[in-house]
Structure 1
Amino acid sequence: MNNSNKKMLEEELWSPVNEFLIDQGYTVRSEVKYCDISAVKDNELIVVELKRSLSVDLLVQAVNRQKIADSVYIAVPKPQKMIGNSKWKNICHLIRRLELGLILVSFNDDKAFIEIPIHPETFDRKKSQQINKKKRTNIIKEINERNGDYNIGGSKGRKLVTAYRESSIFIACCLELFGPLSPKKLRELGTDPKKTTSILSKNFYGWFKNIEKGLYDLSEEGKKELKDYEKLAHYYYKRINNINTKESNGDTKSCD
C-alpha cells in the first residue's frame, strides 16, 4: 500500500532516520538530554530534531541545539506539493542561513526513503549578496527614483506607488495642466528623460491617448485615476508651476 501521503507521526520519522545514521557509521541514541536523536562518530556530535512539519518553533529548537552539537539537522516528512516553488526555496534559504541541515522522509509501499537536500555548513553572506547583487542594485535604484514615501508598509490589496507610477503621474499632471503635449515638451517640463516616450507609447495604466503623431493627452481613465493620488499630484503640480515656461496649450491650475 502506498502511504506516502499519510500524515506521519514524529515516532514514525525516528526509525528511518535512526537506521540511516547507523548505516553511516554513527553511534546513535535517542532522547538524550531532550535531543530527539543524538549521533556520534569520531567525536563529532550530530543532533536531529524530528517534527511533523516545519515551523518557527522547530527552527528555534534546532538553533538552540547548535550550542552543544557540531551539526544539527531537522527531519520532517517530505512535502507533497511545496518542493520547487518559491515558498519552498525561501524556506531552504532560511535553513541554510541558520546553518542547519534538512532531512526529508517519505514512504512508498511501507519502504522509507531519506533525502538530505541541505547539509549544515557555514553560510557565506557576502557570497549570497554577490549572487543577488542585481536585486540589491534594483532596490537602491527604486529608492533613489522615488520622490517620496507614498505607500503604507505591510498593506495588501493597494496599488503601490512605484518609481514607474510616479513618472506616469508626473506626465499625467503635466497633461492635466497644459493639455496635449509632445514627449519632448514633457521632458522640458522635467519628466523622466529616458522613460517618458516609453511610458506614453506603452500606456501600461491606460492613462494616456495618442491624439495625433507625437502628441499625447490624458484619457478619461487617467483623469479619474489621478484623483486617487492627490498628495503626489499636488507635489507635481507645485513642481511644474515652479518651472518657468512660456509655452502652454492650456490654463495652469493653482496648487493652493
Structure 2
Amino acid sequence: MPGRWCKRFRQLARIAAFSESRCRNGRNRRLLRLQIARVDSTPCKGLGSSGKIPLPVRHGNSSDTTVRQSAIGKPAPLGEAALYLPVKRFFEKSGFDVKGEVNGCDLVAYRGDEPPVIVELKLRFTLALVLQGIDRLAISERVYLAVPRPPRRARGLSPEAPGVRRLCRRLGLGLLLVGRRSGTIAILEEPVPYRPRRSADRSARLLDEFTRRTGDGNIGGRNRTPIITAYREDALRCARALADGPMPLKALRAATGVADAAAILQRDVYGWFRRLGRGTYELTEAGQAALGQFAETVALLAASSEAAEAAAA
C-alpha cells in the first residue's frame, strides 16, 4: 500500500522528525506550529470526502484493544460486577443458593437453616467498605468483604496487611480475596466473634511508664520533637546533679534518688555524660545544652524533688 500514501502524511512524518530534533527554543516551536497549520489546511486526496481513514470496528467480547468510531481505547477496567461470578461459584460449590442484589446486598448466599451469608464487593479495601460491612452485621452475623487481589505496586491499604486482617477479626467481618485472572477465592478471615488476647507484659509496661513520669511534658499527636519519657526524666535528674561538677555514682544515686543511675550513665544514650574514672562522671556540653532545652521539665523535676523532701521531713 505504499503507493497510496498521500503527500500529507509524508509531510507530517517530516514535521514529527523535525520536532524531535530541533524544537528546543520558542522560535522553532512557532515554526513547527506554522507548518502543522499549513498541512492541516491542505485537503488529502484518496481518503474519501471527509479526508479521514475509516478504522475497522471490532465486535464481540474480545479482551484486545478495541477500535470504535475511529477512536482507539483501552480495555474496560475491572468492575465490581466482575467479582460476582467467582464469588457466586465459590459458595455454590459449598451447597449454597446464591442470589445477587438482595435488599441492597451485593450477594446473599443461603443454605438450609443456617444464617444467610452476605458478601459486599468492592474494587479496593476502603473505609466505606468496612462501614458497609458493619451495617450488614445488623442483618446477619456472617458478613464477608470481597476485594480483588491488588497489583504488586498498588497504593493504599492491602487486604493482606496484618493490620487490615486484624481489623476485620476485631469487627467480626470475613475477608475474601478474589484472583484477578484465575478468579480463585482465598479466605483471609472468617466472620467469627473476636476476643483479643490481652498482653499482660505490655499492660504492665504501660502502667509503669505512666506512674514513673512526673507531670505531663508532652503534647499528644505532636511528632518530630523529643518525648519526655520516664527514662529521659531520670537522665535529666542525673544531668542536673552533675551540672555543679563531677560526682561519683554512689553520691549521684543518693542525690537524685535514681536507682538506675549507673545504667543510665554507662549507656549514655543521649551523649550527656563522660566517664572520668572508675565510678566518676561529669556532664558534657550536650548535657549542658539539654538542661536548657528541657528547662521546664528540669524545673518541674526540681519542684517535685523538693516537695518529696518536705513531705518526708
Q: Same fold (TM over 0.5)?
A: yes
CA deviations 1:133-180 (Å, max 9, x no partner) are: 21111111110111121111011111111111111111111111x311
Flag structure 2 segments of 5+ consecutive residues without an equivalent: 1-62, 64-75
Contact 2:141–2:191 (CA<8 Å) still a contact in 1?
A: no
- Structure exhibiting the larger radius of gyration computed from Cα positions: 2
Count of equivalent residues: 229
The answer to whether the 8 A contact 1:103-1:114 is kept is yes
Tell me whether 1:136 sits opposite 2:196 in the alignment.
no
1:1-256, aligned counterparts within 5 Å? 8-43=78-113, 44-79=115-150, 80=152, 88-107=161-180, 110-125=181-196, 128-129=197-198, 132-176=199-243, 178-193=244-259, 195-239=260-304
Can you list the C-alpha shifts for 1:183-235, whole angstroms capped at 9, x where unaligned? 21121013321x21111011011111112221111110111122111111112
Counterpart of 1:60 in 2: which secondary structure? helix
CA gap 1:191/1:54 in 2 versus in 1, 3 angstroms: farther
TM-score by length of 2: 0.68
Whether contact under 8 Å (1:174, 1:240) holds in the other structure is: no
- Partner Cα separation in structure 1 for residue 263 and residue 192 of structure 2: 47
Taking only the aligned residue pairs, the percentage that are identical comes to: 31
Bigger relative contact order, structure 1 or 2 (CA pairs below 8 A, ≥6 apart): 1
SS at match of 1:179: coil
Q: Is the 8 A contact 1:8 1:77 kept in 2?
A: no
Structure 1: which 5+ residue stretches go unaligned?
245-256
CA distance in 1, matches of 2:307, 2:118: 68
Q: C-alpha distance in 2, partners of 1:117/1:7?
A: 25
> Quick check: 1:189–1:243 contact (8 Å CA) kept in 2?
no
Change (3 A) 1:14 1:226: farther
Q: Which has the higher strand share?
A: 1
* Partner SS, residue 216 of structure 2: coil
Cα deviation for residue 40 of structure 1 reads: 0.3
Relative distance call for 1:122 and 1:241 in structure 2 (3 A) is closer
Cα deviation, residue 239, structure 1: 4.7
Q: CA offsets per residue over residues 30-68 of structure 1, 9 Å max, x none?
A: 111110110001132000011112222211110110111
- Structure 1 counterpart SS, 2:194: coil
